[in-house]
Amino acid sequence: MTENEDDLIDVAPGSPHNNIVSESVAYVIGLGLALGLTAVSFWVASTSSLWGPGVATGLVVLAIAQMGVHLVFFLHMTSGPDNTNNILALAFGVLIVFLVMVGTIWIMAHMNANMSVSPELMNLQMQH
């Protein structure tokens, strides 16, 4: 019994357990955190008591937090030696995803802003 209790206390959330209770507890904690973050996301999106322009950023932060919860508690990403390669691959994946998304949105927003033609100019071009 004391061994079981030690398992519950000493083992990192995502690392392999040998005890069916502590293994299940890790998944239950993960589910609880994920459900909590989802509920907060939906609340943040519907409430009017928060500063409007900041809501979208807050939602993205909550989503990233929930992805972290999924990675640790469901996909068992840990800092253990067996996981070094998985973490490195994940870091590379995050880098590429970040470059593709932020790069595209940034460039396309600037192009959209710089390419917009005022109605008078559009009218001039039409007359030629």
Partner 1 sequence: MTTEAATIGLTHGGSEDTGLGHRGPESKSIVVPYGFWLFVLSDMVLFSALFASYATLVHATDGGPTTNQLFDRNLVAVETIALLVSSFVCGLAMITAKRANMMWTQAWLLLTGLLGAVFLFIELYEFTKMVAEGAGPQRSAFLSAFFTLVGCHGAHVTAGLLWLGTMMAQIWAKGFQQHIIRRLLCFSIFWHALDIIWVAIFTIVYLIGTLP
Binding-site ranges for partner 1 (CB under 8 A): 20, 23-24, 27, 30-31, 34-35, 38, 41-42, 45-46, 48, 52, 55-56, 59-60, 62-63, 66-67, 70-71, 74-75, 82, 85-86, 89-90, 92-93, 96-97, 100-101, 103-105, 108
* 8 A C-beta contact, residue 81 and residue 15: no
The rounded distance, in Å, linking the Cα atoms of 26 and 29 is: 5
Give SS3 for 11. Answer: coil
Q: 117, 83, 62, 65: which is closest to 14 by C-alpha?
A: 83
**Where does residue 97 rank: exposed (0-12), middle (13-18), buried (19+ CB within 10 A)?**
exposed
C-beta closer to partner 1: residue 85 or 125: 85
Shortest distance, CB of residue 28 to partner 1, whole angstroms?
8
Shortest distance, CB of residue 79 to partner 1, whole angstroms?
16
- Tally the residues of the chain: 128
Shortest distance, CB of residue 2 to partner 1, whole angstroms?
22
Shortest distance, CB of residue 128 to partner 1, whole angstroms?
26
